[in-house]
Amino acid sequence: MKLNLIQENIKTDIEIIIIKDKKITSNKKTLHQLNFTGEDETCALLLEAKKLYIGCENNDEDSIRVAVSVAIRKLNETNFLNISIDAKEDLRAIIEGLELGNYTFDKYKSKKKKTKEKTINIVVSKLNKETINIFQDAINISNSVNLTRNFVNTTPEDFYPNIMAKEAKKIAKENGLECKIYGEDYLASNGMHTMNAVGRASRHESKLIHLTYKPTKKAVKKIVLVGKGLTYDSGGLSLKPADFMVTMKSDKSGGSAVLGIMNTIAKLNLPIEVHGIVGAVENMIGGDAYKPDDVLYAKNGKTIEIRNTDAEGRLVLADCLCYAQDEIKDIDYIFDYATLTGASVVGVGHYTTSIMGNNNHLNYSMVQAALDSGELATSLPFNRYLRKTIKSKIADICNISSTRYGGAITAGMFLDEFISEENKNKWVHCDIAGPAYVEEQWGYNPYGASGAGVRFTIQFMKNLLKEK
């Protein structure tokens, strides 16, 4: 798909018409006969008029993204190659709707659908620098979301820790980032025993990935992003049931989101220093697997009683969070991303990210950034009573709670144990277990990976700069 910005309408094979608030102003009789009323996610193709009408009941950006994604999917079923759409308003939403809605993952299809490239002519009121920047930013962000989707959708046989590290190196090379990759010898010699334990039964060596972006101008903020990169999670010796093991290629969604964000940062040229840290690990079974009843030592010296080896992501994040705070000084914000708990999905549904931390104002700022970008998020509160449920009788802390309730929150509280006092109010935990991978199409998201976390983090950074 090729996108062109143009200032005047030109003759094309078909024109996309977005019907907002159900206000139909042309071809009323024909559309009535087709029972098209302008409801969300509905469309009507009028061949003689050379128009594709798309319903958009609300006038917000995300509804427009969804509407445009419906349009491009419908047009992909046709042979129309030259298409136009009026984007004198809502340019960013239209670009993102086209790019995100057009995504397909056919890597493993033996017979791929052959289609000719479509050209989308996007009509804008002015072709000035501001318009071009909005256009390019929307494309860059969408491309990184789609890159993240590709990483998550790729099977564990083809995407293991070393491959994740290679992809990080590729992103670094293309974007002029600093890249450090560490293996298991580094983990062992630097006290990262919890991350090392999770991956030691795998035939694939665990990798600690650290990407750094430093702006050409003086950075106004320093942000650290930490991602859970479980390239596959069998549950370890606390083996998952067969049905729950399917889709566990998606357990790398947090780490993949961090890579996607880092792929965008340099292109946006934001005056923010950003560090992306990923714990790339495979949790498998074998004679060398870590076990329930083990006590592990984290990088900050805290001891962890293991009662379930399927609560492994928090162990990887614990060491990665400690590494980040040891290696990077004067942090302004530290965010982690993880498909951490099924409890988050039970609590807030498949489509919403759970946001947690000690600073309510920061939590709400992240939720607002998500809503501004079109992602769904909500804040879950910490409380003193749930904190007691992760205490251990034999170690400092237990890797699972003593109660089945509030599991998303207790997992967040576990991570809080590895945030230093000086960073307590700078940290946010993002549990993306719900939206990261859904086995159905929703909105402009395809079956499978959505790229959750990329857009709302970029939006948070943009919002941050607006405050200055």
- Say which CATH number the domain at 97 has: 3.40.220.10
DSSP strands (E only) in 206-294: 207-213, 221-233, 272-283
Same domain for 29 and 160, yes or no, is: no
Q: Which pLDDT value is given to residue 468?
A: 59
Of the residues 89, 111, 127, the one at which a domain ends: 127
Q: What is the DSSP letter of 273?
A: E
Helical (H) or strand (E) element with 205:
none
Residue 322 forms part of a structural domain: yes
Of the residues 95, 127, 159, the one at which a domain ends: 127
Same domain for 244 and 99, yes or no, is: no
Distance CA 408, CA 68 (A): 34
Same domain for 47 and 183, yes or no, is: no
Residue 242 forms part of a structural domain: yes
Residue 136 forms part of a structural domain: no
Residue 87 forms part of a structural domain: yes
Q: Which pLDDT value is given to residue 466?
A: 86
Same domain for 123 and 159, yes or no, is: no
Q: Which residues contact 19 (CB under 8 A, 6 or more apart)?
A: 38, 53, 54, 55, 56
Beta strand 221-233 with 272-283 is: parallel
> Tokens 């709302």 label which residue?
456
Spans of the chain, pLDDT less than 70: 468
Same domain for 166 and 276, yes or no, is: yes
Distance CA 297, CA 191 (A): 8
The residue type of 33 is Q
Same domain for 253 and 388, yes or no, is: yes
Assign 236 to helix, strand or coil. coil
The residue type of 350 is H
Assign 225 to helix, strand or coil. strand
Of the residues 75, 92, 127, the one at which a domain ends: 127
Same domain for 92 and 175, yes or no, is: no
Same domain for 69 and 204, yes or no, is: no
Same domain for 187 and 68, yes or no, is: no
Residue 139 forms part of a structural domain: no
Supply the range of the domain harboring residue 84: 2-127
Distance CA 386, CA 398 (A): 13
Q: State how many domains the chain has.
A: 2
Burial of 309 by CB count in 10 Å (0-12 exposed, 13-18 middle, 19+ buried)?
A: buried
Same domain for 121 and 156, yes or no, is: no
CA 383 remoteness from chain centre: 27
Same domain for 167 and 243, yes or no, is: yes
Residue 176 forms part of a structural domain: yes
Q: Which residues are catalytic?
A: 240, 314
- CATH number for the domain that contains residue 228: 3.40.630.10
Same domain for 106 and 211, yes or no, is: no
Q: Which pLDDT value is given to residue 262?
A: 98
Residue 140 forms part of a structural domain: no
Distance CA 328, CA 323 (A): 8
Q: What is the DSSP string of 79-147?
A: ---EEEEE-SS-HHHHHHHHHHHT----TT-SSPPP-PPPEEEEE-S--SHHHHHHHHHHHHHHHHHHH
The residue type of 433 is A
Burial of 52 by CB count in 10 Å (0-12 exposed, 13-18 middle, 19+ buried)?
A: buried
Residue 141 forms part of a structural domain: no
Assign 372 to helix, strand or coil. helix
